[in-house]
Chain A
Amino acid sequence: MNRATLTLLALLLICALSLVAAQQRARKLFLAQEQAQIEERKLNQEWLRLEYEQRNLSKSARIRDVARNQLHMSPISPERTLYLREVK
């Protein structure tokens, strides 16, 4: 066994170990990505749900009800409306 062989053996060992380490890292990253994707889906669903909820709160029937009965508003009438024309 001369020196060169020993160096190569050491190199081989280092490479082998780093391969294992790299694979481990890849798996970890992949898991993290999977987690993130699941999170993304969840957040997407959450966003859709919130959008729906917001829509539910702002639907015409509710707005009319709140405006009429709680805020005592009445529909606009042209008699007391000032129309402004935007000059482009």
Chain B
Amino acid sequence: MRPVGFSTSPNLVLRLPMWRSRLMLFLLFFVFMLLLIRAFWIQGPGNAFYEAKGIRGTQRELELPASRGKILDRNGQVIATSLEAKSVIAYNDTIPDDLSAEKVKSLANLLQISESELRKKLKEERKQIFLKRQVDPAVAQQIKQLEIPGIGLNNEYRRFYPEGEAMAHVVGFTNVNDKGQEGMELSREKELAGHPGQRRVVVDRLGRVVEEMAILQLPQNGKDLNLSIDSKIQFLAYNAVKNAVEQHHAKAGGAVVLDTQTGEILALANYPSYNPNDRKYLTGEQLRNRVLTDTFEPGSTMKPFTVSLALEKGQVQPNTQMVIGAKYLIGPKPITDTHPYGVLTVAQIIQKSSNIGTAKLAMNTSPQEMWELYTAAGFGQVPKIGFPGAVSGTLHPYKKWVPSDQARIAFGYGISASLFQVARAYTIFARDGELVPLTIERSPEIKAGTPVISAKTAIEMRSMLETVTEPGGTAIKAQAEGFRVGGKTGTAHKLVGKGYGNKYRAYFAGLAPISAPRIVVAVMIDEPTGGSHYGGDVAAPVFSTIVSETLHTLNVLPDSKVKQMVLQDKTPEEVRTANVQTQHVVLKR
């Protein structure tokens, strides 16, 4: 056998069909094409999806917190502030079923709820549930230390009100979501509310922020609000009202203190009150800001306006004598006085609060003139101070008045107003005939008013109002130590159903010091029982307390004729080095 070369071995000569290699080539090419297309897809049109996925792994959008503005009083004292608090959230699907009883018990204890209640909450269908909102930071820390999986803490803000009850009706309160619900918190919600911002960041594997990509929205903290209220005056007014309500077993009470020069509201007190720091009390009647939202018949506090009109028209002078008599027959029921008077001067009509005298003066003027004066003094008009729920009261159009209406409106029946409106109207006597625009925000400049009556009439009326607090007047108890005061009492029968029942409201509205009026104070005590129900006995002492303490707080110079004051003019140096045994008060006005 002849040897054959390796390469020529017939066994190795393989004749494969051509199509097999072609197929292989095609398949390889095809798969490569697929890969190529896929690569193009990923890089091109399908890119967004993958980019988003990549970003989700490394980028986060975080909230930039913003806080609600503070509310400050006129001296910059905090009366409402937001502090950080935590809310406890349960993510029910991640809470293990075999959670130890001990841990549940301690969590229930920290949340101040019963164990069974907590267990019920943890078994609820919802994925996420608030176990408790706004817990104290210390409690939150303890909850964190329990290390229960699925129990998380969230940052929140909680509103605090250091002045509590005394300021509650002015400031109002917010709900759990930090939204204003009442008072200034509600009416200035827009300015006070903070708007959280957002930013995009890059996080590392452990979730730490390593880079900031962009600030999507800048956080905006709420603006602070400066009120015209003085916490000290507010507190003393609140206490004076509270004491009077308790002493006279009354249903409620309120007081307003206004600065006659700047038109600022210094105090707006209501009793009964509530503690805005405790959520469980934030319902019911006590929330009402009676001073602004309740209207009543102003009774005798209306008389100075009627008498002013007669003076203004020159029909009478303060010393003009008038025959009063025991009864004045007009309309279905005769008008009477508490004591029958024979002859009184116009000034005495105010001093003794004679219904007949006032009605007789009113009948000499036309209904239109009366209506115009009352309207100019703000009756029947909503006070524009931006407070929620402020009411207008009612003053019917003069065309509907019959003579007996006119006579009764003259001494404050058949007309209704809020205590705040009465106080505002009294600024015309304090400001030489001008009605001062009022504000609840701090604005210490002296405001120009709208003239309502002449300065002459206002000055005459001031001295008449002073006689009310002097011997022979209806409100000797309104006298304030060191200061000359003036004002008018009011004792109004309360409307019960269709008629007047046995319930009363006692008022006093006045101004001080008479020589240069700085404040107007109006006081209302609702349904005093046990003892006297007269404005001069119930409301006047409250006025006295508020006036003397407020004027001290404002450093106003006493003007009383009775008490001898020691007055010295000193330079600031001498004032600082003054060495006197008595207390000294430096007057800056």
| Residue contact A78 to B558, C-beta cutoff 8 Å | yes
Q: How many residues of A contact B (CB 8 A)?
A: 29
Q: Which single member of A30, A56, A82 contacts B583 (CB below 8 Å)? A: A82
The answer to whether A82 touches B566, judged by C-beta atoms less than 8 angstroms apart, is: yes
CB under 8 Å from chain B, chain A span 17-41: 27, 30-31, 34, 41
* Contact bitstring B231-267, A, C-beta under 8 A = 1, else 0: 1100110000000000000000000000000000000
> Which chain A residues border B402 with CB–CB below 8 Å?
none
Encoded as 1 (CB less than 8 Å from any B CB) or 0, chain A from 28 to 69 comes to 001100100000010001001101100110011100100000
CB-CB under 8 A for A83 and B557, given A30-B211, A30-B212, A61-B235: yes
Chain B residues bordering chain A, tally (CB within 8 A) = 49
Are B570 and A80 in contact (CB-based, < 8 A)?
A: no
Cβ B569 vs Cβ A87 within 8 A: yes
Q: A27: which of B65, B210, B575, B583 is its contact (CB, 8 Å)?
A: B210
Q: Does B571 contact A (CB under 8 A)?
A: yes
Q: Check A52 against B482 for contact (C-beta < 8 Å).
A: no
Whether, in the assembled complex, A76 has its beta carbon less than 8 Å from a beta carbon of chain B, the answer is yes
Q: Which residues of A contact B232 (CB under 8 A)?
A: 60
CA distance A70 to B132 in the complex (A): 39
Contact across chains for B587 and A84 when beta carbons are under 8 A apart: yes
Docked-complex contact B570 and A87, CB < 8 angstroms? yes
A86 touches B563 (CB 8 A): no
Q: How far, in angstroms, from A66 to B584 measured CA to CA in the complex?
A: 22
- B565 CB contacts on chain A under 8 angstroms: 78, 83
Interchain CA distance A45-B81 in the complex, whole Å:
11
By a CB distance below 8 angstroms, the chain A residues around B588 are 86
- With an 8 A cutoff between CB atoms, is B582 at the interface? yes
Minimum distance in angstroms from A74 CB to a CB of chain B? 11
Question: Which residues of chain B have C-beta atoms less than 8 A from A75's C-beta?
Answer: 549, 552
CA distance A87 to B82 in the complex (A): 43
Contact with A along B570-582 (1 / 0, CB 8 A): 1110110010101
Task: Please determine whether A86 and B575 come into contact, CB atoms closer than 8 angstroms.
Answer: yes
Known A-B contacts A61-B235, A83-B558, A85-B587; the reply to A52 vs B566 at CB < 8 A is: no
On chain B, the residues within 8 Å of A56 by CB distance are 162
Which one, A48, A60, A78, contacts B82 given CB within 8 A?
A48
Separation of A27 and B552 alpha carbons in the complex (Å) = 61
Name the distance in Å between A27's Cβ and chain B's nearest Cβ: 5
A84 and B585 within 8 A (CB): yes
Q: Is B476 an interface residue (CB 8 A)?
A: no
State which of B162, B166, B580, B584 has its C-beta within 8 Å of the C-beta of A52: B162
Expressed in whole angstroms, the Cα–Cα distance for A1 and B208 within the complex equals 46
CB-CB under 8 A for A31 and B164, given A61-B235, A81-B585, A84-B570: no
Q: Could you tell me if A76 and B570 are in contact, using CB atoms closer than 8 angstroms?
A: no
- Interfacial chain A residues near B455, Cβ < 8 Å: none
B583 and A80 form a contact (CB under 8 A): yes
Q: For B82, B164, B582, which residue has the most chain A Cβ atoms within 10 angstroms?
A: B582
A86 touches B570 (CB 8 A): yes
19 extra interface residue pairs, beta carbon distance < 8 Å, beyond A30-B210, A86-B586: A27-B211, A48-B83, A49-B83, A51-B78, A55-B78, A78-B565, A81-B584, A82-B583, A82-B584, A83-B557, A83-B558, A83-B568, A83-B584, A83-B587, A84-B587, A85-B557, A85-B570, A86-B575, A87-B571
Sample 8 A-B pairs with CB under 8 A, ordered by A number. Answer: A27-B210, A55-B81, A61-B235, A76-B585, A79-B481, A81-B585, A82-B583, A86-B587
